[in-house]
Structure 1
Amino acid sequence: MSTVSVIVSTYNQPQWLQKALWGFRHQTHKTFELIIADDGSSEETTDLITEFQKNSSLTIQHVWQEDKGFRKTRILNKAIVASTGEYLIFTDGDCIPRNDLVARHLKHRKQQCFLSGGYFKLPLDISEAITENDIETQRCFDVNWLVDVGLKKTFKTRKLNSYGLSEKLLNTFTPTKATWDGNNASGWRTDILDVNGFDERMQYGGEDRELGERLINNGIKPVQVRYSAITLHLDHPRGYVTDDMLEKNKQIRKETKRQKRVWTSFGIKKND
Structure 2
Amino acid sequence: MKASVIISTYNSPDWLEKVLWGYSVQTEDDFEIVIADDGSTKETNQILTSIKAKTQLSIIHVWHKDEGFQKTRILNKAILASNTDYCIFTDGDCIPRKDFVETHLKFRSKNYFLSGGHFPLSKNLSKLISKNNILSQECFDLKWLKNKGLKASFKNTKLAKSKSVALFMNFITPTRPTWNGGNASAWKKDILAINGFDERMKYGGEDREFGERLVNNGIQPLKVRYLAIIVHLEHERGYVNDEAWKINNEIREQTRKEKKVKTSYGINLHA
TM superposition score category, shorter chain reference: over 0.9
Q: How many residues are paired up?
A: 271
1:271 CA displacement: 10
1:3 CA displacement: 2.0
Give per-residue Cα distances to partners, 1:21-60, cap 9 Å, x unaligned: 1101111111100010000000011111111112221211
Contact 1:163 1:228 in 2 (8 A): no
What is the identity percentage for the equivalent residue pairs of Structure 1 and Structure 2?
54
Sort the Cα spacing of 1:271 and 1:118 in 2 relative to 1 into closer, same or farther, 3 A. closer
> Which consecutive unaligned segments of at least 5 residues does structure 2 have?
none
Q: Which residue is equivalent to 2:96?
A: 97
Q: Which residue is equivalent to 1:266?
A: 265
Q: Which residue is equivalent to 1:246?
A: 245
Q: Which residue is equivalent to 2:34?
A: 35
Sort the Cα spacing of 1:213 and 1:162 in 2 relative to 1 into closer, same or farther, 3 A. farther
Q: Which residue is equivalent to 1:204?
A: 203
Give per-residue Cα distances to partners, 1:96-129, cap 9 Å, x unaligned: 0111000000011110000011210000000001
Contact 1:87 1:186 in 2 (8 A): yes
Relative to the length of structure 2, the TM-score reads 0.98
Q: Which residue is equivalent to 2:229?
A: 230
Letter paired with 2:249: K
Contact 2:77 2:270 in 1 (8 A): no
1:162 CA displacement: 5.0
> Which consecutive unaligned segments of at least 5 residues does structure 1 have?
none
Relative to the length of structure 1, the TM-score reads 0.97
- SS of 1:40's equivalent? coil
Sort the Cα spacing of 1:163 and 1:108 in 2 relative to 1 into closer, same or farther, 3 A. farther
Report runs of 4+ in structure 1 exceeding 2 Å deviation: 162-165
Give per-residue Cα distances to partners, 1:112-154, cap 9 Å, x unaligned: 0000112100000000010111111111101111111101010
Q: Which residue is equivalent to 1:169?
A: 168
Contact 1:143 1:160 in 2 (8 A): yes
Distance 1:168 1:127 in 2: 27
Distance 2:163 2:240 in 1: 39
Q: Which residue is equivalent to 1:69?
A: 68
- SS of 2:35's equivalent? strand
Query: Does the alignment pair 1:195 with 2:190?
Result: no
Contact 1:118 1:159 in 2 (8 A): no
Q: Which residue is equivalent to 1:129?
A: 128
- SS of 2:226's equivalent? strand
